[in-house]
Amino acid sequence: MNTQFRTLAGRYAAAYVGTSISRGDLEGAKGKLSALESCLAKISDKADFVSHPLIPVAEKIVFMQAIVSEKADAPAEGLLELLIKEKRFAISGLIAEECRALIESASGIKRAEVRTAFPMSREIEARVRSALEKVTGKKIVIEKGVSPDIIGGMEIEIGDLFFDYSIRGKLRRLKQELFT
């Protein structure tokens, strides 16, 4: 999704788990995230109904409450109700992602997406994690991806940072040097 939706989701996430984080209650923030994810899992296959423009908001809310109210955390249910009223339910998954990012950031954790041409061995993954932890000063959680287009080497994304150590990237840079 575009940056505008991610920014909006970040604002909802900050409002939803931000107070727990600012008080240093990371477990409380994790509990809120878990409750939100649980509610979203229950309602995910009915998202078309909840997002349908012709169904009255009141009916959507009653429907959502009937599905998620068993063991639902009141703040999670309240957030979903607000998203339905404001016609922003479509970004609920992004909000959960942003909540997780806020909690991880407060915990000193960074996510790194590492794409390689072939699956990484555990040894290579450990070496990459160690190098990234030295560079960032934070604990790194690696999300692995395989993309044959890379040819060899790897591409690494950490937040807004992008490192291209792939053969495809080297060829692209060589082509640029030769033709500029």
Whether residue 114 is found in the same domain as residue 101? no
pLDDT digits (tens, 9 = 90+) for 49-71: 888 889 999 999 998 888 887 66
Tens of pLDDT, residues 135-169: 999 999 999 999 988 999 999 999 888 999 999 99
Q: For position 64, what pLDDT does the model report?
A: 87
Give yes or no: residues 119 and 169 share one domain.
yes
- Domain containing 58 equals 3-105
- Are residues 134 and 96 part of one domain? no
Per-residue pLDDT of 14-46, as tens digits, reads 999 988 898 889 998 999 999 899 888 888 888
Do residue 121 and residue 56 come from a single domain? no
The CATH number of whichever domain residue 67 belongs to comes to 1.10.520
- CA proximity to 79, closest of 98, 55, 104: 98
Where among 105, 122, 151 does a domain terminate? Answer: 105
pLDDT in tens, 71-127: 657 888 889 999 999 999 999 999 999 999 999 999 999 999 999 999 999 999 999
Residues 43 and 129 in one domain: no
Number of domains in the chain: 2
pTM of the entire structure? 0.76
User: CA 4: distance to chain centroid?
Assistant: 15
Phi-psi map region of 137: left, alpha, beta (phi>0 left; psi -120 to 50 alpha): left
DSSP per-residue codes, 138-149: SEEEEEEEE-GG
* Lookup result for tokens 């957030």: 79
Asked whether residue 87 falls in the same domain as residue 126, the answer is no
